[in-house]
A and B are shown apart, each in its own frame.
Chain A
Amino acid sequence: MNASFDVAIIGAGPAGMAAAIEARKHGLSCVVFDEAARPGGQIYRDVAQRPAQDRLSILGPDYYAGLELVEAFQRCGAEHRPQTLVWCVSEGEIYWRSREQSGLTLARRIIAAAGAMERPFPVRGWTLPGVMTAGALQILLKSASLVEDDMIFIGGGPLLYLVAAQYCRSGFRPRLILETTPRRNLIPALAHLPRALLAPHYLIKGLGMLRELRAAGVPVVRGVEEIEIEGDDAARGVRWRVGERWRREDAERVALHHGLAPNVNLAMALRCEHFWDNRQRCWRPRLDGWGRSSQSWLWIAGDEAGIAGAISARLSGVLTAIDVAHDLGMIGEDERNAMSAPVRSALAQERAVRPFLEALYRPAECFVAPEADDIILCRCEEVTRGEIAQAVSEGAMGPNQVKGFLRCGMGPCQGRLCGHTITEVMSSLSGRSQEDVGYFRQRMPIKPVTVGQIAGASVLVGANAR
């Protein structure tokens, strides 16, 4: 294992893999850190393994498009470090830990491609065993061929319908879809439809999925405004409200989903400038046209830069790597600009559909900033919405005071599962904008790490210094 590289990449999803392949084309030495056992990220998770290999009919061609990318990545000569957590990053340095050891790797430039996570979906009972995200179900399907009968899907957005459709193809028709996307979203979305027609394959695919769910006879309840998952030690049932009317179903397994958000912890901890994207309802890092962040040695690619999907992620990985190659003096400015032109036009076409999808599936206020005081917002520390409201009424100015008062965001997930919610809830309570409320002040280490692992990496600091 080398200790020093031209480029270090964090994440081996489409953006990270594409960036590594491009960096190698320019003769840069390259290391890729990834938490998963195999490359692919979440979108192409385990695409090169059986059991996924023989699931084309269920998972579809878009998933298998990742196979070629994974194979090219494995051949490109980048050093891949699977099952390795990056817990601290600073200029030129990456601190990591794997199961066996911890260490420090030096890199002249760093590309963060940590991807997305599902937007937190705080409803009553969302912490009960048996409640998972739709993405989690898809991961179980891709990597372990596991499916569950009688699943109830709750929420909205492309990933929810895709997983529900994949369940139908597996012969495990979901019992019910509870659609929480506000019906009124359609009107603002229509304004973006003409532009979305530049990327018609997304619209065709989306309509196809919805048709498939209809043909399979999956019942869909639209306009759901309130959700409650019942149970004491595990999920037992779901109640929902449409208008004034409550209904209930027994349920042991529930899948929640209402869109994705960038996984912001690393860039936030590095004090990269961020802004609140009101269309995507999430924080995003402020980047230049090449993906370079406000820290001049750090580029951010893929969904970590803003949700745009797998193809855009791959293209943005290529774009950042071209710019890194230029920054390290491997290519001149003209060459960089010429090389990136076709990538840029492909990106523009890919992203044409986003404003339409963002407007159509923008999650409702009542689910991103719930108003019932007993709903848990911070899963790790079991902090409720009522406690947050109390802290705000006592004068807590922002997320960091709430953290100090209540330990909210101080559990092992380090605010990933409550950060966006706290911004939204504090905004709705105070009437200030989300941008104004801000986010938790993140700090390294961005993943839990033992003192022994910190010490293990420090030994290398001395070795490198020599």
Chain B
Amino acid sequence: MFQLLDPGEFDAAFDFEGRTISAFEGENLAAALLRAGVRAFRQTPRSGAARGPYCMMGVCFECLVTVDGEPNRQACLETVRSGMIVEAQAGSAEIIQ
């Protein structure tokens, strides 16, 4: 489990797969999920294998999640906004109507 070096007061919370996750407003979304013990952020389209953040800098696209209904968001480039709904991305995203 990733741990916080200097615990502060969480001032935000968001939803991941039905779980409420405490976080700091404006912090990195991938970091908040890793701290909460989330390991698999998505399943691959081809084999369904679990994947999690690899590069943390927007290059590898392993941390794709759905944010407030919008698929294919890179969690490592996304910031936490209190109340956001985040879902793991299973395979390819649905084409939104």
Q: When the two chains form their complex, are residues A135 and B39 in contact, meaning their CB atoms are under 8 A apart?
A: no
- Which of A104-112, A126-134, A204-212, A436-444 participates in binding chain B? A126-134
Q: When the two chains form their complex, are residues B52 and A130 in contact, meaning their CB atoms are under 8 A apart?
A: yes
* Complex Cα spacing A144 to B6, Å: 10
Residues of A within 8 A of B72 (CB): 412, 448
Given contacts A144-B35, A145-B4, A413-B61, A129 and B50 within 8 Å (CB-CB):
yes
Given contacts A51-B6, A170-B5, A139 and B57 within 8 Å (CB-CB):
yes
Q: When the two chains form their complex, are residues A118 and B44 in contact, meaning their CB atoms are under 8 A apart?
A: no
> Is A340 at the interface (CB under 8 A from chain B)?
no
Q: When the two chains form their complex, are residues A35 and B50 in contact, meaning their CB atoms are under 8 A apart?
A: no
> Is A140 at the interface (CB under 8 A from chain B)?
yes
- Closest B residue to A120 by beta carbon equals B60
Residues of A within 8 A of B27 (CB): 143-144
> Is B28 at the interface (CB under 8 A from chain A)?
yes
A-B pairs under 8 A by CB, number: 121
Q: When the two chains form their complex, are residues A140 and B60 in contact, meaning their CB atoms are under 8 A apart?
A: no
What per-residue 1/0 map shows which CB atoms of B51-78 lie under 8 Å from chain A? 1111111111110100000001000110
- Chain B interface residue number, banded: 35 or more
Q: When the two chains form their complex, are residues B2 and A118 in contact, meaning their CB atoms are under 8 A apart?
A: no
Considering only residues 148-190 of chain A, those with a C-beta below 8 Å from chain B are 148-149, 170
Interface of B is mostly: loop
Residues of A within 8 A of B47 (CB): 382
- Closest B residue to A448 by beta carbon equals B72
Given contacts A83-B77, A417-B60, A146 and B52 within 8 Å (CB-CB):
no
Tell me the smallest distance from the CB of A443 to a CB of chain B, in Å.
Answer: 17
> Is A244 at the interface (CB under 8 A from chain B)?
no
> Is B40 at the interface (CB under 8 A from chain A)?
yes
Q: When the two chains form their complex, are residues A233 and B40 in contact, meaning their CB atoms are under 8 A apart?
A: yes
Q: Give the number of residues in A that approach B within 8 Å (Cβ atoms).
A: 44
> Is A362 at the interface (CB under 8 A from chain B)?
no
Residues of A within 8 A of B97 (CB): none
* Complex Cα spacing A170 to B31, Å: 17
- Closest A residue to B77 by beta carbon equals A35
Q: When the two chains form their complex, are residues B59 and A36 in contact, meaning their CB atoms are under 8 A apart?
A: no
Tell me the smallest distance from the CB of B52 to a CB of chain A, in Å.
Answer: 3
Which of A147, A148, A379 touches B62 (beta carbons < 8 Å)? A379
Residues of B within 8 A of A42 (CB): 57
Residues of B within 8 A of A143 (CB): 27-28, 31
Tell me the smallest distance from the CB of A148 to a CB of chain B, in Å.
Answer: 5
* Complex Cα spacing A170 to B4, Å: 11
Interface of A is mostly: loop
Tell me the smallest distance from the CB of A25 to a CB of chain B, in Å.
Answer: 29
Q: When the two chains form their complex, are residues A148 and B54 in contact, meaning their CB atoms are under 8 A apart?
A: no
Q: When the two chains form their complex, are residues B34 and A146 in contact, meaning their CB atoms are under 8 A apart?
A: yes
Tell me the smallest distance from the CB of A11 to a CB of chain B, in Å.
Answer: 11
Tell me the smallest distance from the CB of A258 to a CB of chain B, in Å.
Answer: 14
Residues of A within 8 A of B41 (CB): 129
> Is A339 at the interface (CB under 8 A from chain B)?
no
- Closest B residue to A380 by beta carbon equals B61
Tell me the smallest distance from the CB of B32 to a CB of chain A, in Å.
Answer: 8
- Closest A residue to B3 by beta carbon equals A147
Q: When the two chains form their complex, are residues B54 and A132 in contact, meaning their CB atoms are under 8 A apart?
A: yes
Considering only residues 363-386 of chain A, those with a C-beta below 8 Å from chain B are 379-382
Tell me the smallest distance from the CB of A232 to a CB of chain B, in Å.
Answer: 9
Q: When the two chains form their complex, are residues B56 and A149 in contact, meaning their CB atoms are under 8 A apart?
A: no
Which of A233, A411, A416 touches B59 (beta carbons < 8 Å)? A416
The 5 A-B pairs at the shortest CB distance, nearest first, are namely A129-B52, A144-B31, A136-B56, A412-B61, A129-B39
A residues adjacent to B (C-beta < 8 A): 35-37, 42, 51, 54-55, 58, 83, 117-118, 127-133, 135-136, 139-141, 143-149, 170, 233-234, 263, 379-382, 411-413, 416-417, 448
- Listed by A's residue number, 28 A-B pairs whose Cβ atoms lie within 8 Å are A36-B77, A37-B28, A37-B77, A51-B6, A58-B5, A83-B77, A83-B79, A117-B55, A117-B57, A127-B54, A128-B50, A129-B41, A129-B52, A132-B54, A139-B56, A141-B5, A144-B31, A144-B32, A146-B34, A147-B5, A148-B1, A233-B49, A234-B39, A234-B50, A382-B46, A412-B61, A412-B64, A412-B72
Instruction: Give 12 new A-B contacts, CB below 8 A, not counting A129-B41, A148-B3, A412-B72.
Output: A37-B26, A118-B55, A133-B54, A135-B57, A146-B3, A170-B5, A233-B40, A234-B39, A380-B61, A382-B46, A416-B60, A417-B55
